[in-house]
């Protein structure tokens, strides 16, 4: 069993990204993992944007990120870019903070053209923070969220992520 953290850049729980996050969270819990959810929108915005690590909520968020065995990073895509709040949170991490642990990127967006945000925006951001085990994530069109096809794709992504955690668990044991 792993301690996982889902970072959600969803503007609300009912937004497409929020629905995707809830689905993946359920899948990971069903696989036996302990899962925590960090809604970036719930963090104090001024402290987040000014990188105030003395703020207790910001410090707790960063400590949670650093302690997790694996991370899911979920963001809506706006104009081919991830959420600014997600980036602001990840910017608080030390340079190689994500090294050695699996990261699953998830994104939602209103146009298939926004799929490029996964490879040309989100992956480089994760790599800049040392992510060397980025699991192939999923981009789900807003209109497809909640459909059987999207559910199957997200289940497969959760399975890939769980498989990536397995070698880490063997090393820890």
CA distance 170 to 64: 22
- Residues near 160 by Cβ (< 8 Å), separated by ≥ 6? 104, 135, 136
pLDDT for residue 170: 42
Supply the pLDDT for residue 167: 61
Please tell me the predicted confidence (pLDDT) of residue 81.
85
Reported as type and span, the H/E element at residue 140 is strand 138-141
pTM exceeds 0.85: yes
Please, is 115 exposed, middle or buried when counting C-beta atoms within 10 Å of its C-beta (0-12, 13-18, 19+)?
middle
Measured CA to CA, the distance from residue 121 to residue 75 in angstroms comes to 11
Distance, in Å, from the CA atom of 34 to the CA atom of 64, rounded to the nearest integer, reads 13
Q: Which residue has the tokens 């799929």?
A: 115
Residue 75 forms beta bridges with which residues? 107
Residues of the chain with pLDDT under 70: 167-173
Domain ranges of the chain: 3-164
Residue-level length of the chain: 173
List phi, psi (to 5°) of 58: -70, -45
Check: CB of residue 34 under 8 Å from CB of residue 98.
Answer: no
pLDDT, position 42: 96
For residue 172, the model assigns a pLDDT of 46
Architecture of domain 3-164: 3-Layer(aba) Sandwich (3.40)
């Amino acid at each position: 069993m792993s301690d996982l953290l889902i970072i959600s850049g969803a503007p609300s729980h009912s937004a497409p990204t929020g629905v995707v996050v809830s689905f993946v969270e359920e899948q990971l819990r069903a696989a036996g993992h302990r899962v925590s959810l960090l809604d970036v929108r719930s963090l104090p915005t001024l402290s987040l944007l000014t990188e105030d690590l003395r703020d207790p909520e910001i410090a707790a968020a960063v400590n949670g990120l650093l302690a997790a065995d694996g991370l899911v990073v979920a963001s809506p895509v706006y104009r081919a870019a991830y959420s600014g709040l997600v980036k602001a949170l990840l910017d608080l991490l030390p340079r190689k903070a994500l090294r050695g642990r699996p990261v699953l990127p998830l994104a939602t967006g209103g146009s298939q053209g926004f799929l490029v945000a996964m490879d040309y925006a989100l992956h480089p951001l994760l790599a800049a923070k040392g992510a060397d085990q980025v699991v192939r994530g999923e981009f789900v069109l807003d209109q497809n969220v909640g459909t059987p096809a999207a559910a199957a794709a997200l289940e497969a992504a959760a399975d890939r992520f769980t498989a990536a955690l397995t070698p880490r668990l063997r090393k820890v044991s």
